[in-house]
């Protein structure tokens, strides 16, 4: 295990690198409890960094893409920055008109988490979010535990407890590129989801859930990400690509299920995604252009990375037909996501 520290305007940023028995590595940051780098071998044994990252450590501070980090207290959108819980309405900062996104500009992704422990196999981060933080009720104690195996499997488990009723939705916002850089439109994607959440032009869920069959959002049969991305289909036009929440088919949330796979024929690297979350947010880096320079110094372009965010439904607090995201005292929120890497 290797640990590095860097001074920054917001405090000490710590990078921790785990190396497995095969020499494959994962680098994490206490800023946003985020993934900085994942280096695994391609089909020829050459190392490839499959997680997008920035050239400078300080570029992760308040970055728009939330690259590799942990959005929270509530990942994705809450309509108009408002929700009602137990008869009381809470107002949250609107940071992407007209919605509250990823917990606000001072949310979990932009906080320095505490490094509780670190080894070659496991890193544990923790964060205390006080009552009223970004408008949310309750003091929340959150943890992010990363485990790296000799089988090139990266597991992240998020937990949270609270002292008063609140809402919680945590996920990881890594952008994956199984070639290391360039477009991901030729990557082959498969998602075990027969339905998706309908949104308005602001990508706010309407509450309607509908079938993917017959639409460009059908990834049940594997296909290149770019095959239908420019289709004459309003949801794709609203988002400039894929930025949609898929309702995962497997319903037993007590167990991890393989929900998606991503493959590059060029590198031969495959990534399988398993989770106990009820939904997967697919985002194809539609607005990556203008982000901080890549770790190689290149400018990012749209579709240079794809995020597969396993989480609860966006805007769930405002829709009674969505699975509840309410966390009460005495309960423990748990979301586990596993990224498994291999070659074909």
Q: C-alpha distances in angstroms, 340 versus 129, 256, 263, 275, 329?
A: 31, 13, 12, 11, 34
Q: Under CATH, which number does the domain 2-343 receive?
A: 2.70.98.10
pLDDT value at 197 more than 80: yes
pLDDT value at 176 more than 80: yes
pLDDT value at 250 more than 90: no
Q: Report residue 88's pLDDT band, with 50, 70 and 90 as the boundaries.
A: very high
Taking the mean position of all CA atoms in its chain, how far away is CA 225? Answer: 18
Domain coordinates in residue numbering, the chain: 2-343
pLDDT of residue 231: 97
Distance, in Å, from the CA atom of 24 to the CA atom of 267, rounded to the nearest integer, reads 16
Tens of pLDDT, residues 96-146: 999 999 999 999 999 999 999 999 999 999 999 999 999 999 999 999 999
State both tokens at 12. 């000490």
pLDDT value at 252 more than 80: no
Q: Report residue 342's pLDDT band, with 50, 70 and 90 as the boundaries.
A: very high
CA triple 78-103-82, angle to 5 deg? 35
* 308-332: average pLDDT: 98
The residues carrying an active-site annotation are 173, 309
pTM of the model: 0.97
Mean pLDDT of the chain: 97
Distance, in Å, from the CA atom of 250 to the CA atom of 247, rounded to the nearest integer, reads 9
Distance, in Å, from the CA atom of 151 to the CA atom of 341, rounded to the nearest integer, reads 8
Distance, in Å, from the CA atom of 339 to the CA atom of 268, rounded to the nearest integer, reads 16
With H, G, I as helix, E, B as strand and everything else as coil, classify residue 223: strand
* 21-49: average pLDDT: 98
pLDDT value at 290 more than 80: yes
| Look-up of token digits 């921790």 | 16
State both tokens at 283. 């985002």
According to DSSP H, which parts of the chain are helical?
234-239
């Amino acid at each position: 295990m290797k640990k590095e520290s860097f001074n920054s305007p917001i405090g000490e940023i710590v990078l921790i690198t785990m190396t497995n028995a095969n020499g494959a590595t994962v680098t994490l940051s206490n800023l946003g409890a985020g993934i900085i780098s994942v280096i695994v071998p391609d089909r020829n044994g050459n190392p490839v960094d499959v997680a997008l990252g920035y050239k400078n450590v300080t570029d992760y501070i308040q970055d728009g893409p939330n690259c590799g980090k942990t959005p929270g207290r509530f990942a994705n959108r809450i309509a108009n920055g408002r929700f009602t819980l137990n008869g009381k309405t809470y107002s949250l900062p609107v940071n992407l008109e007209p919605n509250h996104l990823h917990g606000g500009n001072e949310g979990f992704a932009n906080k320095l988490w505490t490094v509780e422990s670190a080894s070659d196999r496991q890193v544990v981060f923790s964060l205390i979010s006080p009552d009223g933080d970004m408008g949310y009720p309750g003091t929340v104690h959150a943890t992010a535990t990363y485990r790296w195996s000799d089988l090139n499997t990266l597991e992240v488990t998020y937990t949270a407890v609270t002292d008063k009723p609140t809402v919680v939705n945590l996920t990881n916002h890594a952008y994956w590129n199984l070639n290391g850089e360039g477009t991901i439109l030729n990557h082959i994607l498969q998602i075990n989801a027969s339905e998706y959440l309908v949104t308005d032009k602001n990508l706010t869920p309407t509450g309607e859930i509908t079938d993917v069959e017959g639409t460009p959002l059908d990834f049940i049969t594997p296909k290149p990400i770019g095959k239908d991305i420019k289709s004459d289909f309003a949801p794709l036009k609203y988002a400039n690509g894929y930025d949609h929440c898929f309702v995962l088919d497997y319903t037993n949330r007590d167990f991890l299920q393989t929900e998606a796979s991503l493959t590059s024929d060029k590198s031969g690297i495959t990534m399988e995604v398993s989770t106990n979350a009820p939904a997967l947010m697919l985002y194809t880096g539609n607005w990556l252009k203008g982000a901080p320079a890549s770790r190689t110094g290149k400018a990012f372009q749209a579709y240079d990375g794809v995020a597969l965010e396993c989480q609860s439904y966006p805007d769930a607090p405002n829709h009674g037909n969505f699975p509840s995201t309410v966390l009460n005292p005495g309960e423990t929120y748990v979301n586990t996501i596993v990224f498994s890497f291999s070659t074909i």
